[in-house]
Homo-oligomer: A and B are copies of this chain.
Amino acid sequence: MLLEMAKELSTSGIYRLAQYGRSLSDMNKSDYDYVSSQELADATGHTAAQVRKDLTHHGSLGEAGKGYEVVKLKAMLTRVFGKEKTINVILIGVGYLGTALISHSGFQQQKFKIAAAFDRDMRKIGTYVEDVLIRDVRNLESTIADMGIKMAIVAVPKLAAQQAIDNLVSAGIEAILNFAPGHPNVPEGTELRNVDMSIELDRLCYLLERKDGN
């Protein structure tokens, strides 16, 4: 089944696929070792059947009795996520969170690079965090165009988020990872994912409530 058409994959399916990729890097297997669906299942907390379904979904590459060849599996994941090359991303908002994101080692390992950072605080503009130059947010549009960037991370305060996102969209950004609380609007065709840390805490609260005394 070469060049199979990529069927749509559910949100949780994408998430699991990404997890398999992480686990694969974490188990230090050589590229020519094999990994079984059961091993991947154990490492990620899913079931072996689930893993197999997910993997076959993108072209069958397992070998009966042996498992999946690590190098092939990695290649498949790279292709599915379109990560043949490092993905350049821009960052809006260089406060503590923005700085943390620039320093975040996980991005580099996963072939993401923060190619440019923007802020509107004149005291920050022109300085560097790690090796990333902080630029004036008024140059957003031209920088995005020059660099051909498609993805952005928003790490500005809640009240500035919608404006920042509007600017990104009109500058041609197609996918946004937003850390500001709230539910910013984006036009059809722009991908937006929100990470709301206090909602994550709420989930934990809910679980504790169900478990404890109550």
Which residues of A are in contact with B by a Cβ distance under 8 Å? Answer: 6, 8-9, 11, 14-15, 17-19, 21-23, 26, 43-45, 80-83, 87, 89, 95-97, 99-101, 103-107, 109-110, 112, 150-151, 153, 157-158, 174-177, 181-183, 189, 191, 193, 195-212, 214
Interface of A is mostly: helix
Shortest distance in angstroms between A94's beta carbon and chain B's nearest beta carbon?
11
Cross-interface CB contact of A175 among B82, B101, B207, cutoff 8 Å:
B207
Q: Which chain B residues border A19 with CB–CB below 8 Å?
A: 183, 199
* Contact between B199 and A175, CB atoms less than 8 A apart: no
> Nearest Cβ distance between residue A205 and chain B, in whole angstroms?
5
Contacts of A208 in B (CB 8 A): 82, 150-151, 174-175, 191
On chain B, the residues within 8 Å of A196 by CB distance are 22, 106
Q: Smallest Cβ distance from A48 to chain B, in angstroms?
A: 16
> Quick check: A106 and B151 within 8 Å, CB to CB?
no
Nearest neighbor of A9 in chain B, beta-carbon distance: B206
Q: How far apart sit A150 and B207, CA to CA, in the bound complex (Å)?
A: 12
Distance of A11 Cα from B207 Cα, bound (Å): 10
Give the chain B neighbours of A110 by CB distance below 8 A.
198, 201-202
The CA of A189 and the CA of B198, in the complex, are separated in Å by 22
Q: Tell which of B80, B153, B182, B204 touches A209, judged by Cβ atoms closer than 8 Å.
A: B80
Q: How far is the CA of A26 from the CA of B15 in the complex (A)?
A: 29
